[in-house]
Amino acid sequence: MIINKIGFIGLGNVGEKLAMNLINNKKKLYIYDKNKETYLKFKKKNVVNCSNLKDLAKFCNVIITCLPSPKSIRNVIEELEPCLNKSHLWIEMSTTDKEEMINLSKKIIKRGSHVLEAPITGGEHRAKSGNISILAAGERKTFDKVFPILSKMGHQILYCGKIGNASTLKILTNYLASLNLLGLGEALAVARKHKIDLGLTYKAIKISSGNSFVNETETQVILSGSYDVGFTMDLANKDINLFNNLANEYKISLDLGKVLKNKFKKGLEILGNRSYSTSIIKLIENENRIKMRAKNFPNQLIDDNIKKKGIEIK
């Protein structure tokens, strides 16, 4: 397997940032998105805009996908499939359904191609800085071969064993983040009603046992009022449904899973597909006739760490 020409499919909020890190590391990219407006973000960059998937497969031996849903991934992979051979490697960086991932990877491996599952976690701001975390699964030798590419996009990289494991772990950690987000919304509402400054509340949580990654990042853009986390309600709903499916597969009864599913479904209906996932807090604000704001919080999250070297977490 020779890795020299890289194709990138799906240039949305997070795909664009991952692709840009490869380009900034002197990699020429062959890009494809069904929305051609996304190509404007790559003007004057070292890219070839592909007009279709067939061309991308013809030009590249590494194909990275970062797509919004299991359905979109299936469509893309099924279209690519006839064009693939043993020179190809597919790296899946979307958050997707474990069974879909397993089934599609079997089809691709049948063509003689290689597969690595590599979903990302840590937010758009870390995708931008190149410090996002990557959960990777597939053959160990494929992982070792691909590591130099992954390390251009991420910092902490965990090898998770067989295909399907990385998607399962990714869904699980997103579930925890969404639960935490709702909990923070309710905690902020209590502080607000008790007339405690929410900037002070943020600091108190940050130095105490209730702190979390979500508090340190998402609370900031809630308090500024932008809600901008670069992650949208449609994707949050997809991930919560995937978590519920994983639990249903083994008939694990979920209390919190159901609450989360209903709340985010309502968020989707009221706030819309492309509202930020963080704006779920607006439901709590509306129900309690409050706004959760504080001074001096940023409208956008920025990872002010410089790009850290990709390392494997053992």
Residues in contact with ligand NAD by the rule CB under 6 A = 9-15, 33-35, 38, 66-68, 72, 75-76, 94-95, 120-121, 123-124, 230-231, 235
Closest chain position to ligand NAD (CB): 12
Which two structure tokens, joined as six digits, stand for 141? 């030798």
- 92 vs 285, which CB is nearer to ligand NAD? 92
- 13 vs 113, which CB is nearer to ligand NAD? 13
Q: Minimum distance between the CB of residue 155 and ligand NAD, rounded to whole angstroms?
A: 14
Q: What angle do CA 55, 61, 64 make, to 5 degrees?
A: 85
What sign does the CA torsion over 225, 229, 231, 237 have?
negative
- CB count within 10 Å of CB 187 equals 15
Q: Minimum distance between the CB of residue 267 and ligand NAD, rounded to whole angstroms?
A: 16
Q: Minimum distance between the CB of residue 223 and ligand NAD, rounded to whole angstroms?
A: 19
Q: Where would I find the H helices in the chain? A: 15-24, 53-59, 70-80, 98-110, 124-129, 140-153, 165-193, 198-206, 213-224, 233-249, 256-271, 281-288
- 13 vs 21, which CB is nearer to ligand NAD? 13
- 143 vs 231, which CB is nearer to ligand NAD? 231
- CB count within 10 Å of CB 151 equals 19
- 15 vs 201, which CB is nearer to ligand NAD? 15
Q: Which of 193, 201, 93, 72 is CA-nearest to residue 150?
A: 93
Q: Minimum distance between the CB of residue 10 and ligand NAD, rounded to whole angstroms?
A: 4
Q: Minimum distance between the CB of residue 238 and ligand NAD, rounded to whole angstroms?
A: 6
